[in-house]
Amino acid sequence: MESPRLERALISVSDKHGIAAFAQALHRAGVVLYSTGGTARCLQDAGVDVREVSAYTGFPEMMDGRLKTLHPKIFGGLLARRDRDDDLAALAAHGIVPFELVVVNLYPFEATIQQPGVTDAEAIEQIDIGGPSLVRAAAKNHAWVAIATQPAHYAAILEEFQRDGRLSPALRRQLAADAFAHTAAYDRAIAAYFAGGGQAADFPAALPLTLQRIATLRYGENPHQRAALYYNPRSTGTRLATARQLQGKELSYNNLMDLDAAWALVRSLPQAAAVVIKHTNPCGAASAPQLAAAVERAFAGDPVSAFGSVLGFNRVVDAATAEFLATPGLFVEAIVAPGFDPAAVDILTTRPKWKHNVRLMELDATSTPPDTIHFRHVDGGLLAQETDAGPDDPQTWTVVTTCAPSDAQWAELKFAWAVVRHVKSNAIVLCRDQMLCGAGAGQMSRVDSVEIAIGKAAERAAGCVLASDAFFPFPDSIDRAAEAGVVAVIQPGGSRNDSEVIAACNARSLPMVFTGRRHFKH
């Protein structure tokens, strides 16, 4: 059956981004536009001729706008099947006109409940009734009616419409699929709000999780695995999933994993800071007064592992930093930063051998707090936990040895503690002069992690401080660290053998600090 010509459109949107230009294009092509309330005023202000729904139905808007489109003359025009004589007869008998396009997006319920101090009454007022009904009616009858629920749909609709005045069955079906996903996500958000007793629940009895696919990736962790990137529309502010890619090849699954690890660590470091990530673990990290010095020292932490790495910066990348990265022999896969100076972009995209391939990812701010809930997939389900992103308070830390750290050692211990929480458990880091000198990550034995960190630091271990993400069960790691020249230790404490570990430190005049909080990262 042939698709109907697009002759009439019903427009009622809360998100008015792009709607004026879209409506103007439809109007110029002879489409008759019907609209309601604020949308009608917006279009009229843009010089678009629209017909008020209330004038068409003969029924005024009422109850402060709660009742606008819920009328047989609207829903009859959406639900009528053009291949049914009885449906067409009903339209004619009651003076109902059919619509071929509905443009509707819903009241901003989720944005409202995320505002500080929002009341129940304010949240409830943003529960849309007519909007979802319009969307579902049009989507149900998508054989004859197209439904646009987001500004991103406008371009595809215009492209097909301007070709021959019709919209293809394939496009109408895809729009219908998007529409049902849109209303499903909306209802789940409302259900989660009520399940939380009036606030968005962190761990509701039923988890409302609706994600939008924004990219199909080349492959997953390995070439034989398919992969995609999904965005959580409930996340606010600047996020890695929607960061702006300034240049470079398409991002891979592994790139995104490493970029996420880089951003999580670098945003927590003091001064200008740079981190070097391989397989989601830092092999280099440093803070310095200038970013160029920080990245040079970060690379010096483990130059061999840094080859083919992903970098993170907490300051705008400047020309001096880019000059270092253009040094022959360095190879970088991707970089995430709050911004890039034009001179830095020019250097990075014209000078190194990898110039055409490096991905430059720009996040507009470092101040957006991380998502509060972290999800991990397990076979047949999801694990959910609070994100381990809150700051540690050094005022709560305790010196448990007879010898206390010096002021300089305190600064190093704080830096090391900021780094170790981002290393996979069992995690050990050795740091000196605000620089990661060696890391032991992901080992089954904490002793092995200590050995790896010392091996990476080599002669630089002498004078380093050591941070452990969880307690030492035995003093053997303390003995080995002292032999390597470690000058101070920071760890959570909490082992039943703490007294033995403290005694081992006291015997070597090695200051040790307990934080009272561990940072496992599996």
What are the tens digits of pLDDT across the range 352-402? 988 888 999 998 765 566 777 788 889 999 898 888 888 899 999 999 999
Whether residue 457 sits in one domain with residue 353: no
pLDDT of residue 17: 85
Cα 423 to Cα 142: distance, rounded to the nearest angstrom: 51
Question: Mean pLDDT, to the nearest integer, of 145-157?
Answer: 88
pLDDT tens for each residue of 201-240: 567 666 767 778 889 998 999 999 999 998 876 676 678 8
Q: Which residues pair with 9 in a beta bridge?
A: 33, 101
pLDDT of residue 180: 87
Domain-located, residue 91 = yes
Whether residue 448 sits in one domain with residue 300: no
pLDDT of residue 198: 47
Domain-located, residue 215 = no
Question: Mean pLDDT, to the nearest integer, of 396-421?
Answer: 96
Question: Mean pLDDT, to the nearest integer, of 12-19?
Answer: 84
Nearest CA among 27, 31, 63 for reference residue 47: 27
What's the first-to-final CA gap in the chain, in angstroms?
Answer: 56
Whether residue 351 sits in one domain with residue 443: no
Cα 340 to Cα 346: distance, rounded to the nearest angstrom: 10
CATH number at residue 308: 3.40.140.20
pLDDT of residue 126: 77
Percent of the chain with pLDDT over 70: 93
Whether residue 107 sits in one domain with residue 58: yes
Question: 73-77, 207-211, 353-357, 498-502: lowest mean pLDDT where?
Answer: 207-211
Give the count of beta carbons closer than 10 Å to the beta carbon of residue 59. Answer: 17
Q: Which of 342, 362, 382 represents a domain boundary (last residue)?
A: 362
Query: Residue 379: exposed, middle, or buried by beta-carbon count in 10 A (0-12, 13-18, 19+)?
Result: exposed
Pick the more confident residue, 511 or 80.
Answer: 511
Query: Residue 290: exposed, middle, or buried by beta-carbon count in 10 A (0-12, 13-18, 19+)?
Result: middle
pLDDT of residue 390: 80
Domain-located, residue 520 = no
pLDDT for residue 45 is more than 90: no
Domain-located, residue 3 = no
Percent of the chain with pLDDT over 90: 49
77 DSSP assignment: H
pLDDT band at 32 (very low <50, low <70, confident <90, very high): confident
Whether residue 178 sits in one domain with residue 45: yes
pLDDT of residue 133: 85
pLDDT of residue 69: 67
**Residue 404 belongs to domain spanning:** 395-514
pLDDT of residue 368: 66
Question: Mean pLDDT, to the nearest integer, of 110-121?
Answer: 78
CB 339 within 8 A of CB 316: yes
Domain-located, residue 386 = no
Q: Which of 317, 338, 362 represents a domain boundary (last residue)?
A: 362
pLDDT of residue 19: 87
Pick the more confident residue, 360 or 41.
Answer: 360
Cα 222 to Cα 224: distance, rounded to the nearest angstrom: 6
Question: 17-26, 191-200, 236-245, 247-256: lowest mean pLDDT where?
Answer: 191-200
pLDDT for residue 487 is more than 90: yes
Whether residue 348 sits in one domain with residue 440: no
Domain-located, residue 237 = no
Whether residue 162 sits in one domain with residue 71: yes
pLDDT of residue 9: 86
Looking at every residue in the chain, the average pLDDT score rounds to 88
Nearest CA among 9, 17, 5 for reference residue 162: 5
pLDDT tens for each residue of 283-311: 999 999 999 999 999 999 999 999 999 99
Whether residue 160 sits in one domain with residue 282: no
Whether residue 22 sits in one domain with residue 140: yes
Pick the more confident residue, 127 or 292.
Answer: 292
pLDDT of residue 520: 93
Q: What is the CA radius of gyration of the chain?
A: 30
Q: How far is residue 171 CA from its own chain's centroid?
A: 29
pLDDT tens for each residue of 448-483: 999 999 999 999 999 999 999 999 999 999 999 999
Cα 446 to Cα 419: distance, rounded to the nearest angstrom: 17
Q: What positions carry a catalytic annotation?
A: 140, 279
**Residue 45: strand, helix, or coil:** helix
Question: Mean pLDDT, to the nearest integer, of 317-336?
Answer: 95
Q: Which residues pair with 374 in a beta bridge?
A: 385
Whether residue 35 sits in one domain with residue 123: yes
Range among 31-45, 170-184, 246-260 with highest mean pLDDT value: 246-260
- State the DSSP string of 423-474: SPSS-EEEE-SSBEEEEE-S-SSHHHHHHHHHHHHGGGGTT-EEEESS--SS
Count the domains in the chain: 3
Angle 471-456-490 from CA coordinates, rounded to 5°: 25
Return the half-sphere exposure (C-beta side, CA atoms, 13 A cut-off) of residue 348: 27
Whether residue 49 sits in one domain with residue 164: yes
pLDDT for residue 254 is more than 90: yes
Pick the more confident residue, 334 or 193.
Answer: 334
pLDDT for residue 489 is more than 50: yes
pLDDT of residue 256: 95
pLDDT tens for each residue of 152-184: 888 888 888 888 888 888 898 999 988 888 888
**What is the value of pTM for the model shown?**
0.74
Pick the more confident residue, 307 or 56.
Answer: 307
CATH number at residue 42: 3.40.50.1380
Domain-located, residue 97 = yes
Whether residue 492 sits in one domain with residue 417: yes
Domain-located, residue 88 = yes
Pick the more confident residue, 273 or 382.
Answer: 273
Cα 268 to Cα 388: distance, rounded to the nearest angstrom: 12
